[in-house]
């Protein structure tokens, strides 16, 4: 340990204070156990805090044989001062659906990563992968060999690949999940392994699966194809439990307001009046829901989880095209398929995926996301001509307010070829 070199980090040392977990303390503890690269990582970060600029070089193409993703090249721009992080590449490792682990798995992963890399990780990256931060180029193939042979694991997506699909915890813990989110996530991941590892798309593509419209995995904001659970029968009501809420025997919203006095629960004010479609009413002691008018926003169910449950005829609403602002501005996913059954082997859904991908791979420009292509060529074109689906009012928030639809020639009787002479015979110029 005598040859360990600790850098002065007075600015980062400030980030050891305060109650929230200190990543500086964690990295330093690891460094003290004999890992120089953690000292160098902190040293370079301190330099960034002084210069207010990053000290990582742009890119660097590295990878493992046969894959076009899963590894992000990273090089220090100050390797003389921080030699152990001169190469400090990242591997994305495909997480198990909804991120449950055993201690045996974690410990063996630690043994592997301590041996092959820095011992620094993200649990997890934004997309959902386990991120192994920091190793040199010569360790990439052995790391992949270890992952695939000693863990039966694989790399996740990066670049113009299918990105690693992600899901909420679904039926593992949640009584609201209308979908078997883990099973869907696993099945799609396994089905599309080629797309996940070998870049064939115009740009990145993301699937995210949430079990209900609460959308805990943020599918509607950040996935090209958002699969969100819903139901088409009636909300299940336990009238006795409704009365228990009204009587104050059960805390509203599962006790989510427990540290503030909001007064006695008022079902009219807190549930019925807040229903966005106004589809609920108290009829004497009975809560009545006009389910045909319900938009399934989850509010009443969230407030009274012991009294109300989603229906049992469940499936998914499919939306397309979410993305962060780069470049044309942020987009949220837009409704495409109001309801689809999501049951193994998901053939109806996969047929839809084929149509969607064929179009995007054919028409999409370099670095054009699906959502941008839908905007460029038109939502109606996508729904009708590409997917072969019928347009319905649910496809728009409101009808267009300009009078400029692009009529096609075949829609107009007689077509667009006209007899000018006959026209002028009727109308003097």
Partner 1 sequence: MIDTSMYKDDPGYDITEKLDTPYDPTLADREYNPAKPMAGRLTDQGPPHYEQFFPEVIKKNYGKWLTHEFVQAGVIKYTSETGDLMWVVRCATPRLITTNLLREIGDIADKFCEGHCRWTTRNNLEFHVTDEGTLKDLMEFLNNFKHPGGSYKLPIGGTGTAITNIVHTQGWIHCHTPATDASGMVKSVMDDMFEYWTSHKLPAKLRISMACCLNMCGAVHCSDIALLGIHRKPPFVEHDRITGVCEIPLAIAACPTLAIKPAKVTLPDGKEVKSVTVNEPRCMFCGNCYTMCPAMPLADEEGDGVAILAGGKISNRITQPTFSKLIVPFIPNELPRYESVCKIVRNIVEAYSKGANKYERLGDWAARVGWERFFEQCQIPFTEKSIDDYRLAYDTYHTTTQFKWSSHTDKLMQEAGY
Going by the DSSP 8-state scheme, the letter that residue 255 receives in this structure is: G
Distances 89 to 122, 150, 411 between C-alpha atoms, Å: 13, 21, 57
Q: Quote the least distance from Cβ 421 to partner 1, whole Å.
A: 44
Residue 75 or 384 having the CB closest to partner 1: 75
Stretch that binds partner 1, among 110-118, 379-387, 401-409, 410-418 (CB under 8 A): 110-118
Q: Is 20 in the site for partner 1 (CB under 8 A)?
A: yes
> Which parts of 85-104 interact with partner 1 (CB under 8 A)?
88, 90, 94-104
Q: Which is nearer to partner 1, 15 or 355 (CB)?
A: 15
Rounded distance, CA 181 to CA 348, Å?
A: 17
d(CA 238, CA 304): 10
What residues from 276 to 315 belong to the interface with partner 1 (CB under 8 A)? 276, 296-299, 302-303, 305-306
- Whichever of 24 and 356 has its CB closer to partner 1, that residue is 24
- Please report, as residue ranges, which positions from 114 to 173 form the binding site for partner 1 (by CB under 8 A): 114-115, 119-124, 126-128, 133-134, 141-143, 145-146, 148-154, 166, 168-169, 171-173
Asked if 402 interacts with partner 1 (CB under 8 A), we say: no
Residue 262 binds partner 1 (CB under 8 A): yes
Are 75 and 163 contacting, i.e. CB atoms less than 8 angstroms apart? Answer: no
Q: Using the rule CB under 8 A, is 243 a contact of partner 1?
A: no
From 1, 3, 283, 366, residue interacting with partner 1 (rule: CB under 8 A): 366
Which CB atom, from 158 or from 382, has the smaller least distance to partner 1?
158
Cβ distance to partner 1 smaller for residue 22 or 234: 22
What is the 3 state secondary structure string of 135-181?
CCHHHHHHHHHHHHHHCCCCECCCCCCECCCEECCHHHCCCCCCCCH
Return the SS3 of 260.
Answer: coil
Pair of tokens at residue 270: 């807190």
- Name the nearest CA neighbour of 172 among 95, 254, 100: 100
Contact 296, 279 (CB under 8 A): no
CB of 14: closest distance to partner 1 in angstroms? 5
**232 or 355: whose CB is closer to partner 1?**
232
Q: How many residues does the chain have?
A: 429
Any contact of residue 244 with partner 1 (CB under 8 A)? Answer: no
User: What is the C-alpha to C-alpha distance for residues 217 and 127, in angstroms, rounded to an integer?
Assistant: 10
Dihedral pair phi/psi, residue 115, rounded to 5°: -75, -45
Contact region with partner 1 (CB under 8 A), list: 33-41, 286-294, 382-390, 406-414: 33-41
Query: Between 315 and 386, whose beta carbon lies closer to partner 1?
Result: 315
Please tell me the distance from the alpha carbon of residue 45 to that of residue 16, in angstroms, as a whole number.
14
* Distance in Å, CB of 5 to partner 1, minimum: 18
Strands 71-72, 236-237: parallel, antiparallel or unpaired by DSSP? unpaired
Shortest distance (Å) from residue 146 CB to partner 1? 5
Answer whether 316's CB lies under 8 Å from 352's CB.
no
How far apart CA 257 and CA 268 sit, in angstroms, is: 18
Closest distance between partner 1 and the C-beta of residue 320, in Å?
14
Sign of CA dihedral 300, 302, 303, 306: positive
Give 147's Cβ-side CA count (13 Å radius).
Answer: 23
Tell me how many residues contact partner 1 (CB under 8 A). 146
CB of 127 to partner 1, least distance (A): 8
User: Which residue's CB is nearer to partner 1, number 223 or number 386?
Assistant: 223
Whole-angstrom Cα distance, residue 155 to residue 71? 8
Piece in contact with partner 1 (CB under 8 A), picked from 29-37, 283-291, 384-392, 407-415: 29-37
Count of CB atoms situated within 10 Å of the CB of 113: 23
Nearer to partner 1, 228 or 383 (CB): 228
Subset of residues 171 to 230 that bind partner 1, contact rule: CB under 8 A: 171-175, 177, 180, 182-183, 186, 189-190, 193-194, 197, 213-218, 220-222
Residue 342 is a binding residue for partner 1 (CB under 8 A)? no
Interface of this chain with partner 1, residues 46 to 75, rule: CB under 8 A? 48-49, 51-59, 65-67, 74
> How many Å is the Cα radius of gyration of the chain?
28
Task: Identify which range of 14-22, 356-364, 384-392, 403-411 contacts partner 1 by CB under 8 A.
Answer: 14-22
């Amino acid at each position: 340990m005598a040859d360990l070199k600790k850098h002065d980090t007075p600015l980062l040392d400030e980030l050891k204070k305060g109650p929230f977990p200190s990543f500086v303390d964690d990295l330093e503890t690891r460094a003290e156990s004999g890992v120089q690269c953690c000292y160098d990582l902190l040293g370079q970060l301190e330099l960034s805090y002084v210069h207010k600029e990053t000290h990582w070089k742009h890119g660097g193409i590295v990878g493992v044989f046969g894959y076009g993703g899963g590894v992000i090249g990273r090089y220090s721009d100050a390797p003389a001062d921080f030699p152990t992080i001169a190469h400090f590449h990242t591997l994305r490792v495909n997480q198990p659906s909804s991120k449950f682990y055993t201690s045996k798995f974690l410990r063996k992963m630690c043994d592997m990563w301590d041996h092959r890399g820095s011992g620094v990780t993200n649990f997890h990256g934004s997309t959902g992968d386990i991120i192994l931060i920091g190793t040199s180029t010569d360790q990439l193939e052995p790391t992949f060999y270890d992952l695939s042979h000693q863990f039966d694991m694989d790399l996740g997506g990066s670049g113009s690949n299918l990105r690693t699909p992600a899901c909420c915890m679904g039926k593992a813990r949640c009584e609201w999940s209308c979908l078997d989110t883990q099973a869907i996530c696993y099945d799609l991941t396994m089905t599309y392994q080629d797309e996940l590892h070998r870049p064939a798309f115009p740009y990145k593509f993301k699937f995210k699966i949430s079990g209900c419209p609460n959308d805990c995995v943020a599918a509607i904001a950040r996935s090209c194809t958002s699969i969100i659970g819903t139901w088409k029968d009636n909300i299940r009501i336990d009238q006795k439990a409704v009365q228990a809420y009204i009587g104050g025997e059960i805390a509203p919203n599962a006790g989510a307001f427990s540290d503030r006095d909001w007064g006695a629960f008022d079902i009219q004010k807190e549930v019925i009046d807040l229903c966005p479609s106004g589809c609920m009413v108290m009829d004497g002691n009975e809560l009545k829901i006009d389910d045909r008018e319900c938009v399934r926003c989850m509010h009443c169910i969230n407030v009274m989880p012991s009294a109300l449950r989603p229906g049992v005829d469940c499936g998914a609403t499919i939306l397309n095209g979410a993305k962060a602002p780069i470049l044309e501005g942020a987009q949220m996913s837009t409704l495409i398929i109001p309801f689809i059954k999501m049951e193994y082997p998901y053939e109806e859904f996969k047929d839809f995926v084929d149509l969607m991908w064929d179009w995007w791979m054919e028409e999409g420009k370099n670095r054009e996301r699906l959502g941008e292509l839908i905007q460029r060529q038109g939502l109606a074109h996508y729904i009708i001509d590409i997917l072969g689906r019928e347009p319905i009012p649910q496809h728009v928030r409101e009808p267009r307010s300009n009078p400029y639809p692009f009529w096609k020639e075949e829609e107009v009787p007689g077509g667009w070829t006209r007899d000018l002479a006959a026209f002028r015979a009727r109308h003097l110029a």
